[in-house]
């Protein structure tokens, strides 16, 4: 079922009239009906489904039952349902107010900010509204005029008539004037900071609260230049695209539209009557009705006479992805564009001995600072991906266990969402590195890639059909913990004979120390072997042989197109690759009669984890 008729929640604010009940048929028994929330998943006023098997349930309950796919792929970047649609009947003047942007609202209010648009459905002859300032004023003057009740003197009063449209970005001071009927499409938020209210008394007998300090912090104090770039749409921004439909019932009495997999469609009937049908279902409409069509609904038809607003969600313009690669010693943060190019990055100490909440807060703050430094707004970011070592529950955004950073049952996605008001996805850090190489590095021409990271431990990631392979969605692959020598060297996981116990830099150093009694960095070990040191040659040959056994095992199971080596030991290049290729020829099932994968060195280095994490979104 894709075509839903919605029933609104009703609001009785003191400035409201009663036209929405009298003229638009809204079911309401009270004397004052100021607003009806026609399309809403907001807990302060949800809309309800009026038809079909979900009748009586909220729109959010329908989405929860059917899955967020009902909203479309363009909505994946939103943490919550993206918009809220209202009818507003202003019998009296609304308060002078302003709405914060996403970043301020999330930090201070725990929900999104608010950008909105108004379509004037009707207005009295002398009707006007306030929209921005007449002239630029200082913060000090703004505060003084609020205290002295002289703010109206510097506000821009705009006369309006039926059919006018205003786009109100967050931070724009504004107010609807009396005797105006409006359709409003806005971000899914209910945050308003009042700065002037005509001295009105609320139902409690007291003057209604003002929010002066918050308003001072978020208000844009320069005149607003009306933006006409939305053409051919009524309004167009990263949060919503609104189009106007007019059928006169004579010359134009039928319209066909299409709802693709990219976005749902909201249809708000401002006037008229007729029928709407989709996928064999037909519903009647009259003015004031609101309909929701799920993404992928296909062709729908409207017949009759109507004025209507059709709202969809488009792809974000110039999107930026945030990538975070958390390690035991350091955390790397980067901003990545749609071409998987790293725009900017920085490195911070992880401070793994600190509580998880502190580490997450510092990462979130550093991300926000990096965005500020680069002049990139949060609105431009479609989401953040985070790579983290250990056992990761990708579906629920939880780090089950990580010995590297001493985390257990940390709700990473939820906690990071307190600082970044965008979708958050997490994965194992080795999986992220593999994904980074697959989308932007040595494996960008391949769909099936296995990456083995040779560092302090042995990590690995498996990319099949361009996606991380992680079984049931928890932990990811643990290539380093396959046993290659039964009863062999102890491993950090508690078992014996794992690949990590033989092919890590730690294992190589152990073997060198046993042979010569002192530590040597990997590069000196390989250099000494190349220069003829018999003892080091023996160690290197055994190291490569053990690594080759692990690689052959993985290739026999997954049959990838490409095997990549990363980490500090991978810099040895052909010293490793040549003998490993020979081992694959001898050890892989089918040998050269089958299709052997290539084996190469990863190319992105420390950027792989950032780019891979960013690609989770």
CA 331-336-340 angle, to 5 degrees, is 115
Residue 589 near residue 597, CB atoms below 8 Å: no
Q: Render the burial of 463-495: b for 16+ CB within 10 Å, e for the rest.
A: beeeebbbeeeebbbbbbbbbbeeeeeebbeee
Q: List the one residue out of 182, 170, 228 whose CA is nearest residue 85.
A: 182
Q: List the one residue out of 284, 368, 330 whose CA is nearest residue 102.
A: 368
Q: How far apart are CA 611 and CA 102, in angstroms?
A: 25
Q: How far apart are CA 519 and CA 513, in angstroms?
A: 5
Q: Catalytic annotation on 194? A: yes
Q: What is the largest CA-CA distance in the chain?
A: 98
Q: List the one residue out of 375, 370, 361, 446 whose CA is nearest residue 610.
A: 370
Residue 23 near residue 89, CB atoms below 8 Å: no
Residue 478 near residue 453, CB atoms below 8 Å: no
* Cα–Cα distance list, 60 to 10, 97, 244, 315 (Å): 17, 28, 26, 22
Q: How far apart are CA 587 and CA 582, in angstroms?
A: 9
Token pair, residue 63, equals 């989405």
Which of the 8 DSSP states describes residue 406?
T
Q: How far apart are CA 603 and CA 438, in angstroms?
A: 10
Cis peptide before 541 (omega within 30 of 0): no
DSSP 226-255: PP-TTTTSSEE-SS-EEEEEEEESSSS-EE
Q: Which residues pair with 87 in a beta bridge?
A: 36, 183
Q: Render the burial of 268-286: b for 16+ CB within 10 Å, e for the rest.
A: bbbebebebebeeeebebe
Which of the 8 DSSP states describes residue 512?
H
Q: How many residues does the chain have?
A: 617
Summarize the chain as % helix, strand, coil (round to 5). 30, 30, 40
Which candidate in 77, 103, 145, 194 is catalytic? 194
Q: How far apart are CA 12 and CA 329, in angstroms?
A: 56
DSSP 311-375: EE-PPPSS-EEEEEEE-SSEEEEEEE-TTS-EEEEEEEE--TTS-HHHHHHHHHHHHHHHHHHHT
Q: List the one residue out of 341, 316, 233, 260 whose CA is nearest residue 69.
A: 260
What 65-69 contacts at long range (C-beta under 8 Å, 24+ apart), as own/partner pairs, is 66/294, 69/295, 69/296
- Strand 424-428 and strand 281-286: the pairing is unpaired
Beta-carbon count within 10 A of 599 CB: 22
Three-state SS at 208:
coil
Token pair, residue 213, equals 């300090």
Active-site residue list: 194
């Amino acid at each position: 079922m894709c075509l839903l008729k919605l029933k609104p929640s009703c609001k009785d604010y003191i400035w409201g009239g009663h036209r929405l009940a009298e003229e638009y048929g809204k079911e309401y028994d009270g004397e004052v009906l100021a607003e009806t929330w026609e399309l809403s998943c907001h807990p302060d006023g949800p809309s309800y489904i009026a038809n079909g098997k979900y009748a009586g349930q909220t729109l959010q309950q329908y989405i929860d039952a059917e899955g967020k796919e009902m909203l479309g792929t363009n909505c994946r970047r939103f943490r919550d349902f993206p918009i809220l649609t209202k009818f507003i009947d202003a019998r009296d003047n609304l308060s002078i107010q302003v709405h914060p942007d996403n970043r301020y609202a999330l930090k201070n209010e725990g929900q999104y900010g608010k950008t909105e648009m108004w379509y004037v459905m009707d207005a009295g002859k002398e009707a006007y509204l306030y929209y921005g300032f007449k002239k630029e004023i200082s913060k000090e003057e703004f505060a003084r005029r609020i205290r002295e009740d002289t703010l109206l003197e510097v506000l821009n009063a705009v006369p309006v008539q039926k059919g006018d449209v205003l786009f109100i970005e967050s931070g724009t001071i504004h107010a609807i004037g009396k005797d105006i009927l409006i359709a409003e499409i806005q971000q899914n938020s209910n945050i308003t900071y009042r700065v002037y209210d005509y001295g009105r008394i609320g139902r409690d007998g007291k003057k209604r609260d003002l929010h002066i300090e918050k308003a001072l912090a978020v208000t844009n104090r320069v005149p607003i230049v009306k933006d006409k770039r939305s053409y051919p749409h009524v309004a167009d921004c990263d949060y919503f695209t609104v189009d106007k439909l007019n059928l006169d019932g004579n010359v134009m009495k039928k319209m066909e539209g299409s709802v693709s997999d990219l976005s749902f469609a909201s249809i708000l009937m401002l006037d008229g009557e007729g029928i709407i049908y989709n996928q064999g279902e037909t519903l009647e409409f009259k003015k004031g009705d609101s309909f929701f069509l799920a993404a992928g609904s296909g062709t729908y038809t409207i017949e009759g006479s109507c004025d209507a607003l059709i709202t969809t969600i488009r792809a974000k313009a110039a999107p930026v992805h945030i990538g975070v690669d958390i390690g035991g010693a350091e955390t790397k943060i980067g901003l990545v564009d749609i071409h998987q190019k790293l725009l900017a990055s920085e490195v911070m100490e992880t401070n793994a001995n600190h509580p998880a909440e502190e580490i997450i807060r510092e990462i979130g703050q550093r991300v926000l600072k990096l965005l500020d430094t680069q002049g990139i707004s949060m609105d431009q970011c479609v989401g953040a991906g985070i790579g983290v070592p250990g056992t990761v529950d990708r579906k629920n955004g939880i780090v089950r266990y990580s010995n590297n950073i001493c985390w257990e049952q940390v709700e990473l996605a939820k906690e990071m969402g307190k600082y970044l008001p965008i979708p958050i996805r997490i994965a194992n850090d080795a999986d992220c590195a593999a994904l980074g190489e697959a989308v932007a590095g040595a494996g960008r021409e391949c769909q099936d890639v296995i990456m083995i990271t040779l560092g302090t431990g042995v990590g690995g990631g498996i990319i099949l059909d361009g996606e991380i392979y992680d079984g049931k969605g928890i932990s990811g692959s643990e290539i380093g913990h396959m046993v290659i020598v039964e009863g062999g060297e102890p491993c950090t996981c508690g078992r014996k004979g794992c690949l990590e116990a033989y092919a890590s830099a730690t294992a190589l150093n152990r073997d060198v120390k046993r042979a010569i009694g002192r530590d040597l960095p990997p590069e000196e070990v390989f250099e000494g072997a190349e220069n003829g040191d018999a003892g080091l040659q023996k160690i290197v040959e055994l190291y490569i042989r053990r690594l080759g056994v692990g690689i052959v095992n993985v290739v026999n199971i997954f049959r990838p197109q490409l095997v990549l080596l990363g980490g500090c030991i991978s810099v040895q290049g052909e010293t490793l690759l040549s003998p490993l290729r020979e081992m694959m020829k001898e050890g892989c099932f089918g040998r050269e009669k089958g299709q052997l994968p290539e084996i190469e060195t990863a190319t992105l280095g420390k950027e792989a984890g950032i780019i891979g994490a960013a690609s989770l979104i």
